[in-house]
Structure 1
Amino acid sequence: MDILPLEAMPSISIDLPMSNHGYEVKADEVFWVNQGVLKSTDLRDSLDEQYIADIVACIVGGQLIERSKDALDDIYVSGTSESERILNALEVYGADKVSDEIKFCISELLKVCDAGQRIKLRTLIFTKTNTNAFPSVFAILLIAFHELIVGENKKIANYGELQKALNDISSRIETGRKATAPEERRKNIDAVKGLISSDFVKTTKLSEMIYSNHTTVDIESVIRRSEIELANYELKQGLLVLDVNGVEDPQMIDKVIKTICAIANIGPKSSGKILIGVTDKKADADRVKKIDSVEAKKIGKRFVVGVNREAKRLGISVEKYFTKWKEGIKKSGLSPTLRDSVLSSMDFNSFYGLGLIAITILPQKELSYVDDEVYWRNGDSTERATTPKQIAGIASRFASPA
């Protein structure tokens, strides 16, 4: 179970646009508010949880439920037949599975908004300017995506064309009060699918697409968690020195390898991540804009500058850039078990066209090394254990209980 110290509560509390309490989570930066699905006050009141519950119930339960408070109450009240039905369905379907699928569908929606000229979801589906929240329309759209992608094993063939197909889609579905009934929701979902299905094609790599990679939603979550769990997360802006010459930092991959080792040595129940393409310094983000003409995306206190710009400066493909990192880790003196685990879990995320590399460090059963040296995390810094006492202390974390 994750435990958050009371003094860290501001780091997960929501600051509304018109308030200034010093909370770390800015409502207008969160997906729901940023894309206009909810108002900032809705987010503060945790309405996002209700709307996700509605979507999950529709997906795992195998049938659409009425979009209403009473329908959700029937699910939440322990012992009711509807509660038992959804809980049993969720157990069979798998909570992690449906979570991965929903996050993937949201990420695909964001990619559609980002195709060509970047546009917010509300602006895309409503041509008439308004500031109203649209959770009911969002649910229709997300379920339609889920049925096409997961239900029919399809992927988006052309994000730009799909963006055109979704333009002003709210005017082509029923959005009045009667649209909350299951049969009306089904008509709306089918109408949306009819309008966008031509922009999807069959795929045989659905599992690889959804369940083995980080989504955009995952990446944003990691970046926000990095502000709290300093020891378990590390952010690096990239492989190149931030100057006009763009030469490679010869020590960068080595630094990351030592940090991988240090995070693994936190303990046998601890995991962590390293993101390549993120900086916590606004000065670095400004420097990237000046050198590469790339506008960073701000997430909390961090700035995503991406790695696509580095591949471009090096004159290589993004795939070859990714390979440089993998080869560096593969040829390193990292403990074999840890090295192989990291290589199998590394992945690339396009992240709004900027490009990010995510390195996952899974829990290890034994002490890890780099060329017979032991590294550990001291807050957010990586240090080498220099005395037998330090090494013994770190090794004791992996000792089996008597």
Structure 2
Amino acid sequence: MQDLTVRSENIQRIYGFYTSNRLLVNRRYQRKLVWSIEEKSAFIDSIMKGYPVPLILLAEISTDDNTTFEIIDGMQRLNAIVSFIEGEFSVNGEYFDLEAMAESKLIHDKGKIEQNKPKMKREICAEIASYVLPLSIYKMESEEQIDEIFRRINSNGKHLSKQEIRQAGSISLFANIVRELSSQIRGDSSLRERLLLNDMKNISITNKELDYGINVDKVFWVDNTIIRREQVRESKDEEIIADILAYTLLKDKPLSSSKTLDEFYGFNNDKSKKFKELEEQITIRGKEKIKEDFYKVFDILNSVLVKSNKKFNQLIFKESTLDKIPRYFQIVYLALFELAVNRNMKVKSGDRIIKALDGISKNINLSQGGGNWSAIERENNVNSVVGIIEKNFAKNIEDPSMVQWSIELENILSQSTTEQSSFDFKLGFCNLTSREFIDKTFDKSIKTLTAMINRGKNSVGYLIVGVADKKSDAEDVKKITNEEYIKKGNFFITGVNHDIDILETDDDKYFQKVIQKIDAQPIEKKYKSQITNNIKFLDYGGKRVIIMKLEEQGEAVIYDNKYYERKGANVAEVKMNEVINLFKKFSD
């Protein structure tokens, strides 16, 4: 018999859970906010009229000093409630009166939220606050049980797409890679699997009038007219990535269909031959290598589109069309994969590859069939495109320290919006006025990395050099260097190009200087090795960016014989009487 409690809580208390950071979202199966304003308004209207609403299912997670609730079913409803209270939308043209509840009044008094007008009558708001929500609370025993509960709840409903159900109920290696790649390309990835409900809007995609953190029109798939806006909501992008990955991993090339996708995921407990082979290939090749290969090709294609100043369908078609674009994308992508990964070749000339791909759809022959896409048709078309563009590739014999992974940087910037304490941004290590390398700036940066780790178990720290999180800082660099920065979301990519110019060196020597500086840092050798093994030197639109990463290894990290902690944007030394509490953070 499972420990299941059915109880009721009024909206005021639920909002209290929200403001005290007790409502969690597990992004394995709850990946985005999708309700439109109309859907949110309709739900609030039901509450105002006293109509019954569906049960909200939560998993209770208890620790020594706190109890939190993971939302299994009801995230859209809970978000509708808290976003209405905080004035993100109106109902019947009126906004919630923040003084109707003590919790919302307190936050308003602190200046964290504003009162929008016209205000709804306080009596009505008080009735909304006292409305009782039905809750079913399940004592969490294992991740697998929660996943299965979610799948069973949603498998017979129409509010989730087939792909969302596939992903939600699967903890396979294949599902994990598809999940990570998809969210990283959309720009809604997060550093941790569990997020606060409070943070979900920062990494959700705009829906009509709802201003979430990610503009749906700027998502790669929509921007390039590969799929429509509503298809992002239905996770069509994940189906495309799943099809591509399976094609590159399976020996016998599969057909493309809904049933085949089910087999990739072992859907309905059917552990098919394809499912087993995919898991085996991922184990052999390694998840990180597979992701690296995927991004290598994605960046080639993305660079071609940027350089051509055309969207995908504009490039490959002489005349714009919306017919079967996802299939054309797969064919072009897989042809590039064959050359760049399988044959280890590189593009000889960006202009030539653009010319080769311009209007290439005339060499792609797709049948007029329905949902199923035969394996032989896809393979023949891939080979046809390879034959046309391969003369524009040459054998890749270089092994540079710099990699052109624009998606890597964009992904990290996206993650920082929900995990600010795990990220630190630096413009560079040189003083632009005195034009010299400042060792103290470098030392402080590494010290900050160790301070991030000292937050406890599973902590991770990122140092991004060449990116400003304030426009004023980027403008200061521009005034001195006369170089434009690149705006990406709320960040400003200046690059460390000015450092390289100041030191009158080149990319490789600058990168080696950074490695040498890390080796000279007063931290344990294993942490130096971890930083240098994970360091990345990226090229983002001509801007050189350095990313350093440090992960917790079961203990607090010492910097120059002292322990440090990050508090807000500052780094503070841990006093002797606080060291024991620091150590406790790493105990089981």
Which residue number in structure 2 is paired with residue 366 of structure 1? 555
Question: How much has 1:361 moved relative to structure 2?
Answer: 0.7
Letter matched to residue 583 of structure 2:
A
Q: Which residue of 2 aligns with 1:226?
A: 416
Deviations 1:183-213 (A, max 9, x none): 22112101110111122233467xx789x97
Kindly tell me: are residues 214 and 228 of structure 1, through their superposed partners in 2, closer, same or farther at Cα, counting changes over 3 Å? farther
Provide the residue aligned with 1:282 in structure 2. 471
2:464 aligned partner, one-letter code: L
In 2, the alpha carbon distance for the partners of 1:267 and 1:165 equals 52
Structure of higher CA gyration radius:
2
Residues 199, 355 of structure 1: CA spacing in aligned structure 2 closer, same or farther, 3 A cutoff?
same
1:248 CA drift (Å): 4.6
> 2:235 and 2:461 mapped to 1: Cα distance?
28
SS at match of 2:540: coil
Instruction: Identify the match of residue 244 of structure 2 among 39, 55, 60.
Output: 55
Q: Is the 8 A contact 1:231 1:381 kept in 2?
A: no
Q: Sort the Cα spacing of 1:295 and 1:177 in 2 relative to 1 into closer, same or farther, 3 A.
A: farther
Moved more, 291-300 or 225-234: 291-300
Calculate the TM-score normalised by the size of structure 1: 0.85
Query: What letter is aligned with 1:257?
Result: I
In the alignment, the residues of structure 2 paired with residue 172 and residue 313 of structure 1 have an alpha-carbon distance, to the nearest angstrom, of 50
Q: Is the 8 A contact 2:531 2:550 kept in 1?
A: yes
Tell me what 1:237 maps to: 427
For structure 1, which segment, 156-165 or 284-293, has the greater mean C-alpha deviation from structure 2 after superposition? Answer: 284-293
User: Is 1:193 the counterpart of 2:386 in the alignment?
Assistant: yes
Matched, 1:388 2:576: yes
Cα distance in 2 for partners of 1:230, 1:49 equals 27
What is the CA–CA distance in structure 2 between the aligned matches of 1:391 and 1:131, rounded to whole Å? 62
1:105 aligns with 2:297: yes
How far apart are the structure 2 equivalents of 1:128 and 1:321? Answer: 46
| 1:260 correspondence with 2:260 | no
**SS, match of residue 509 in structure 2:** helix
Distance 1:118 1:293 in 2: 24
Where in structure 2 are there 5+ consecutive unaligned residues? 1-191
Aligned AA for 1:229? E
Q: Deviations over 1:203-226 (max 9, x none)?
A: 467xx789x978322221111001
Offset, 1:76: 4.6
SS of 2:585's partner is helix
**1:144 alignment counterpart:** 335
| CA spacing shift, 1:169–1:312, aligned 2, 3 Å | farther
Q: From the superposition, tell whether residues 102 and 396 of structure 1 become closer, same or farther in structure 2 (CA, over 3 Å).
A: same
Tell me how far 1:276 sits from its aligned partner.
Answer: 0.9
How far did 1:130 drift?
A: 5.6
Higher relative contact order (CA 8 A, sep 6+): 1
Bigger mean CA deviation after superposition, 219-228 or 84-93: 84-93
Q: How far, CA to CA, are the matches of 2:586 and 2:424 in structure 1?
A: 22
TM-score by length of 2: 0.60
How far apart, CA to CA, are the structure 2 residues paired with 1:142 and 1:364?
A: 38
CA contact (8 A) 1:274 1:359 kept: yes
CA contact (8 A) 2:202 2:212 kept: yes
1:337 to 504, 526, 535: 526
Paired amino acid for 1:191? S
2:275 aligned partner, one-letter code = L
SS at 1:23's partner residue? coil
Q: Percent identity?
A: 27
Q: Check whether the contact 2:467–2:492 (CA below 8 A) recurs between aligned residues.
A: yes
Per-residue CA shift, 1:246-280, capped at 9, x if unaligned?
Answer: 55555321221111211232334322321111111
Distance in 2 (alpha carbons) for counterparts of 1:261 and 1:170: 52
Paired residue type of 1:278: V
Residue 180 (1) aligns with residue 373 (2):
yes
| Range with bigger deviation, 43-52 or 196-205 | 196-205
Kindly tell me: are residues 163 and 136 of structure 1, through their superposed partners in 2, closer, same or farther at Cα, counting changes over 3 Å? same
Q: 1:89 to 1:290 in 2, by over 3 A?
A: farther
Q: In the alignment, is the contact (CA less than 8 A) between 1:294 and 1:309 conserved in 2?
A: no
Q: 1:348 aligns with which of 533, 537, 542?
A: 537
Q: What is residue 13 of structure 1 aligned with on the other side?
A: 204
Classify the secondary structure of the residue corresponding to 2:414: helix
Q: 1:273 to 1:296 in 2, by over 3 A?
A: same
Q: 1:268 to 1:4 in 2, by over 3 A?
A: closer
Distance 2:324 2:483 in 1: 31
CA distance in 2, matches of 1:132, 1:124: 14
Q: Is the Cα–Cα contact under 8 Å of residues 297 and 333 in structure 2 kept in the other structure?
A: yes
Worse-superposed segment, 257-266 or 304-313: 304-313
* Cα distance between partner residues in 2 of 1:41 and 1:297: 29
SS of equivalent residue, structure 2 residue 455:
coil
Q: Contact 1:36–1:133 at 8 Å: present in 2 too?
A: no
Structure having the larger proportion of residues in strand: 2
Q: Distance in 2 between matches of 1:256 and 1:264?
A: 13
